Amino acid sequence: MNTYDKKFEALANVVLAILCLTCVVPLLLLIMSSLTSEDALMHNGYALFPQKISLDAYHYLWFSRAQILRAYEMTLVATLVGTLSNVTLTTLFAYPLSRKSLPGRNFFSFAVFFTLLFNGGMIPTYLMWVQVFNIKDTFWALIIPNLLMNGFGIIVMRTYFTTSIPNEILEAARIDGAGETRSLLSIVLPLSKPILSTIALLSGLAYWNDWLNGLYYLVKRTDFYTIQNLLNRLIASADFISNNAANSSITAGLTVPSVGVRMAIAVIALIPIMIIYPFLQKGFVKGIVIGSVKG
């Protein structure tokens, strides 16, 4: 390794270290802010080393632990069902598009790309799901709108199939009598674990972090609330109590850590993602690189 390569490697390491800090420091600041007393947050702002440690925010959320656990269950079920459905539908759409023998292949590819540029708008979409498909106040309101399948995932997976699955293997399978379904299940899917894990991770993150579907389509069935919807509701409740405590005889003298609660809520929502992501990181990076750069 010559001097130029060593300097470039050192510079690259410094840049990567800075980028790493820009990701880690906000996370640490979030966690420490959730453990900081409300008075310290209001007077001193956010700090990595708080002057006064307090668990008031988590103590406030502890009173809603039954609702939080229920919301976690709904989020887990919605994420599993939605992710499995998303990966299945994306695969079934992307694989035919990767086959050059598909009639009307260019038309369907354009139709997928068109959805990335234009959509019907929020109000027509809402009316369609509510009046035509009647998903309001149902479990499927958390699964179908906006998240079930998207054009980006289809294009990335189609690119992976086209560039990373040797056509000679599929031709050999066809000579041996395998049809398209057998080729997909026995050859394509086992060779596509990186892109499958990538789509699964992106879809899972979208379902876990989604709160718009619950806000739009769950009006009466609050028992279907996911963790994001419930935590958003708890934030609103904490802000309401905090703002009206001085004017209410019932809540007079009650201190609600509204700022700390927001941080604690964000930490609670992040924990499962932080646990799962390291196991999928390798396949995620490989799938994104191969599925989007090649071709």
pLDDT digits (tens, 9 = 90+) for 247-280: 544 444 445 566 777 788 778 878 777 777 776 6
* HSE-CB for 150 with a 13 A CA cutoff: 19
Find the distance separating the first CA and the last CA of the chain, reported in whole Å: 32
Domain that holds residue 117: 56-293
Q: Is residue 5 part of a domain?
A: no
CA dihedral (108, 149, 152, 156) positive or negative: negative
Q: 86 falls in which pLDDT band (50, 70, 90)?
A: very high
Q: Is residue 17 part of a domain?
A: no
Residues 291 and 165: their CA atoms lie apart, in Å, by: 11
Read off φ and ψ for residue 36, nearest 5 degrees. -100, 145
* pLDDT higher than 90, residue 178: no
* HSE-CB for 151 with a 13 A CA cutoff: 12
What CATH number is associated with residue 256? Answer: 1.10.3720.10
pLDDT digits (tens, 9 = 90+) for 125-164: 888 898 888 889 899 999 988 888 888 889 888 888 888 8
Q: Is residue 21 part of a domain?
A: no
Counting the structural domains of the chain, the total is: 1
Do residues 257 and 57 lie in contact, with contact meaning Cβ atoms separated by under 8 Å? yes
Q: Tell me which of 57-66, 70-79, 257-266 is least confident.
A: 257-266
253 Rama class: left (phi>0) / alpha (psi -120 to 50) / beta: left
